[in-house]
Amino acid sequence: GAGVSQSPSNKVTEKGKDVELRCDPISGHTALYWYRQSLGQGLEFLIYFQGNSAPDKSGLPSDRFSAERTGGSVSTLTIQRTQQEDSAVYLCASSLGAGGTGELFFGEGSRLTVL
Amino acid sequence: SQQGEEDPQALSIQEGENATMNCSYKTSINNLQWYRQNSGRGLVHLILIRSNEREKHSGRLRVTLDTSKKSSSLLITASRAADTASYFCATGRGGADGLTFGKGTHLIIQP
């Protein structure tokens, strides 16, 4: 597909379980972002990958959150020992340009519900 | 931390009227972008304005940027019911930083 693909689209899990969310960016896009959006709220920055540079992890809310980007393409966001407050929509976006200089293309998000 | 703050948080107008949303930010920027989000969907890019530009148009959209006041406005003319959505501004500072979003303005167009 030509757009950013995220999976799963919906995930329901029990408190304490680990979850993995996947993002497949647009081919050739060097920048990849993860954001979190709680119901009716704005976007909370989580992590930013740019090419081969060390990622900007400054937005990760706790050490239960981690992300990696393999081969400069697909990214996985992992949440360990999930808590109810982790319930949100997790949005991934990619961009051709670096440093927020260009348009971001968003996926449809992964909706996480922690029971 | 939030860089951009949209104002108002919510706006309800009649179809055909113009809608104006504002965005303020705190630090110097390379560019400012506006995005739209329909309920339950991802964000869609609307327009990008660079720091050396003052105004930009795209169809029914008009964006202004005042770097001295660190503010931007998005004007949607002749609004339609399909314009009902949340609108977010985002600022980019270039360099190693990414893009930072505000909390959004929820726009409702009454038919």
What is the tens place of the pLDDT at every residue in A55-87?
Answer: 989 899 999 999 999 887 999 999 999 999 999
Structure confidence at residue A1 (pLDDT) = 54
| Cis upstream peptide for A55 (omega within 30°) | no
Which of B43, B93, B103 comes nearest A100 by C-beta?
Answer: B93
Q: Which residues contact A37 (CB under 8 A, 6 or more apart)?
A: A43, A44, A88, A89, A90, A91, A109
**B→A interface, C-beta within 8 Å:** 2, 30-31, 33, 35, 41-45, 48, 88, 90-104
**A→B interface, C-beta within 8 Å:** 4, 31, 33, 35, 41-43, 45, 48, 50, 53, 56, 91, 93, 95, 99-109
Q: Can you read off the two tokens belonging to residue A105?
A: 């293309």
Which of these, B68, B29, B69, lies nearest to B49 by C-alpha position? B29
What is the tens place of the pLDDT at every residue in B24-64?
Answer: 999 888 899 999 999 878 899 999 999 999 999 999 999 99
Structure confidence at residue B96 (pLDDT) = 57
**What is the mean pLDDT of the segment spanning B98-102?**
83
Is residue B2 very low, low, confident or very high in pLDDT (cuts 50, 70, 90)? very low
Which of B95, B98, B103 comes nearest A42 by C-beta?
Answer: B103
Best residue of B101, B105, B106, B107 to probe chain A, by most A CBs closer than 10 Å: B101
b (16+ CB within 10 A) / e for A90-111: bbbbbbebbbbbbbbbbbbbbb
What is the tens place of the pLDDT at every residue in A12-47?
Answer: 999 999 999 999 999 999 899 999 999 878 889 999
Q: Can you read off the two tokens belonging to residue A95?
A: 């961009």
Q: What is the mean pLDDT of chain A?
A: 92
Best residue of A21, A46, A103 to probe chain B, by most B CBs closer than 10 Å: A103
Q: Helices in chain B by DSSP H: which ranges?
A: none
Structure confidence at residue B106 (pLDDT) = 94
8 Å CB contact of A43 and B31: no
**What is the mean pLDDT of the segment spanning A100-111?**
89
Structure confidence at residue A13 (pLDDT) = 97
- A47 close to A91: Cβ distance less than 8 angstroms: no
Which of B31, B42, B96 comes nearest A106 by C-beta?
Answer: B42
Which of B33, B90, B98 comes nearest A48 by C-beta?
Answer: B98
Angstrom distance (rounded) from CA B22 to CA B4 = 10
8 Å CB contact of A42 and B101: yes
Which of these, A25, A4, A31, A21, lies nearest to A90 by C-alpha position? A21
Structure confidence at residue B70 (pLDDT) = 95
Best residue of A4, A24, A43 to probe chain B, by most B CBs closer than 10 Å: A43
**Separation in Å, CA of B70 to nearest CA in chain A:** 17
